[in-house]
Chain A
Amino acid sequence: MTRHMKMDNADTRRRLDDMVQGAVGAPLDRPDGPLKVTGAAHYAAEQPTDALCYGVLVRAPAAKGRLLNMSTNAVMALPGVLAIVSDERMLRNPAQGTANEAPVQGVHEIAYFGQPVALVVAETFEQARHAAQALQLHIETTDEAALDPLAVEPEIPEDKQSSMGDLDAAMKNAVYRVDETYTTPSHSSAPMEPHASIAQWEGEQLTLRGSYQMLKYNRNELADSLGIEPKNVRILAPYVGGGFGSKLGIAPEAVAAALAAKKLSRPVSVAMTRPHVFETTMRRSETRQRVRLAADAQGRLTGIGHETLVSNLPGERFAEPVTQATAFMYRGENRIIGQKIARLNRTCAGSVRAPGEAVGVTIVENAMDELAEQAGIDPVELRKRNIPEEDPTRQVPFSSHKLAEALDAGARGFGWEKRNAIPKQVRDGEWMIGMGMASAFRVNMLKEAQARVRLNANGTAEIESDQTDIGTGTYAILTQIACDMLGLAPENVTVRLGDTDLPPGSGSGGSFGAASNGTAVFLACEELRLQLATAAGCAEPDLTLKDGKAIVGNRQVIIAELLPSTALEATGHIEPGDASSKVRQATYGAYFAEVAVSAITGETRVRRMTGAFAAGRILNAKTARSQCLGGMVWGIGMALTEALEFDPRYGQIANHDFAEYHIPVNADVPQIDVILLEEHDDWANPLQAKGLGELGICGAGAAITNAIYNATGVRVRDYPATLDKILPGLET
Chain B
Amino acid sequence: MKPFAYDRATHPSDIAFADAGAAIIAGGTNLLDLMKLEVMTPDRLFDINRMDLSSIQQTENGGLKVETLVTNSDLAADMRVRQHWPVLSRALLAGASGQLRNKATTGGNLLQRTRCHYFYDTAMPCNKREPGSGCGAMGGVNRINAVLGTSDKCIATHPSDMAVALRALGATVEVRKKSGAVQSLPLGTLYVLPGDTPERETVLEAGDLITAVCLPPPVKGRQIYRKVRDRASYAFALVSVAAVVEVVDGKIARADLAFGGLAPVPWRDGAVEELLIGNAPSTSLFDAAADQLLRTAKGHGGNDFKIPLARRTLKAVLEEATR
A interface residues (Cβ-Cβ under 8 A, vs B): 59, 61, 79, 113, 126, 129-130, 133, 430, 600-603, 605, 640-641, 645-650, 652, 654-657, 659-660, 662, 664-668, 722-724, 727-728, 732
Contact = CB atoms under 8 A, between A and B. Distances in A.
Contact of B140 (A640, A648, A657): A648
Interface in B1-34: 1-3
10 contacts: A130-B38, A600-B312, A603-B228, A640-B230, A654-B140, A662-B230, A665-B234, A668-B233, A723-B309, A727-B312
B235 interface: yes
Contact of A660 (B115, B136, B233): B115
Interface of B: 1-3, 36-38, 115, 117-118, 120-124, 136, 139-141, 143-144, 228-236, 238-239, 305, 308-309, 312-313, 315-316
Contact of A665 (B3, B231, B238): B231
Nearest to B117: A654
Given A601-B309, A667-B233, A129 B316 contact: no
Contacts of B1: 126, 129-130
B231 A662 contact: yes
B143 A645 contact: yes
B117 A660 contact: yes
B98 to A, nearest CB: 11
A664 B239 CA distance: 20
A207 to B, nearest CB: 30
Given A649-B140, A654-B141, A667-B232, A130 B313 contact: no
A599 to B, nearest CB: 9
B115 A664 contact: no
Residue from A61, A133, A647, A665 having most chain B Cβ neighbours under 10 A: A647
- Which 3 pairs of residues, A with B, have the shortest CB-CB distance? A61-B123, A724-B305, A654-B141
Contacts of A665: 231-234
B260 to A, nearest CB: 14
Contacts of B308: 727-728
A656 B118 CA distance: 11
A641 B316 CA distance: 24
A133 B141 contact: no
Contact of B312 (A133, A601, A664): A601
Given A645-B141, A645-B143, A665-B232, A600 B121 contact: no
B230 A600 contact: no
Contact of A723 (B124, B144, B230): B230
Given A645-B143, A652-B121, A660-B144, A722 B230 contact: yes
A239 to B, nearest CB: 24
A649 B236 CA distance: 25
Given A129-B36, A662-B230, A665-B233, 16 more contacts: A59-B123, A61-B123, A130-B38, A641-B230, A645-B143, A646-B141, A649-B139, A650-B124, A655-B117, A656-B121, A660-B117, A660-B144, A662-B235, A667-B233, A724-B305, A728-B308
Contacts of A59: 123
Given A130-B2, A601-B309, A660-B117, A668 B232 contact: yes
Contact of B313 (A601, A646, A655, A656): A601
B231 A668 contact: yes
Contacts of A657: 120
A727 B231 contact: no
A133 B36 CA distance: 10
Nearest to A657: B120
B3 to A, nearest CB: 7
B41 to A, nearest CB: 9
Contacts of A113: 123
B316 A600 contact: yes
A655 B239 CA distance: 19
Contacts of A650: 124, 136, 140
B122 A133 contact: yes
Contacts of A640: 230
A623 B52 CA distance: 51
Nearest to A59: B123
A648 B137 CA distance: 11
B262 to A, nearest CB: 14
A732 B290 CA distance: 13
B141 A655 contact: yes
A102 to B, nearest CB: 27
A645 to B, nearest CB: 5
Contact of A647 (B140, B231, B305, B316): B140
A454 B30 CA distance: 54
Contacts of A61: 123
A57 to B, nearest CB: 14
Contacts of B120: 657
Contacts of A126: 1
A375 B307 CA distance: 38
Given A133-B122, A652-B124, A666 B313 contact: no
Contact of A659 (B2, B115, B313): B115
A649 to B, nearest CB: 7
A17 B35 CA distance: 60
A657 B313 CA distance: 28
A655 B305 CA distance: 19
A61 B121 CA distance: 10
Contacts of B236: 659
A203 B3 CA distance: 36
Contacts of B124: 647, 650, 652
A668 B136 CA distance: 31
A215 to B, nearest CB: 32
A2 to B, nearest CB: 51
A259 B121 CA distance: 28
Nearest to A79: B3
A641 B140 CA distance: 19
A375 B88 CA distance: 52
A528 B199 CA distance: 73
Contacts of B239: 601
B256 to A, nearest CB: 21
A116 to B, nearest CB: 14
Contacts of B315: 600
B8 to A, nearest CB: 19
Given A652-B121, A660-B115, A727-B308, A600 B313 contact: yes
Contacts of A600: 312-313, 315-316
A656 B123 CA distance: 13
B309 A666 contact: no
Contacts of B140: 647-650, 654
A642 to B, nearest CB: 10
B316 to A, nearest CB: 4
A271 to B, nearest CB: 14
Nearest to A606: B232
Contacts of A667: 231-234
A223 to B, nearest CB: 33
A605 B123 CA distance: 36
Contacts of A724: 143, 305, 309
A650 B228 CA distance: 29
Contacts of B232: 605, 665, 667-668
Contacts of B121: 652, 654, 656
A430 B233 contact: no
A664 B1 CA distance: 30
A462 B117 CA distance: 51
A180 to B, nearest CB: 23
Nearest to A725: B305
A650 B252 CA distance: 50
A645 B37 CA distance: 20
A704 to B, nearest CB: 14
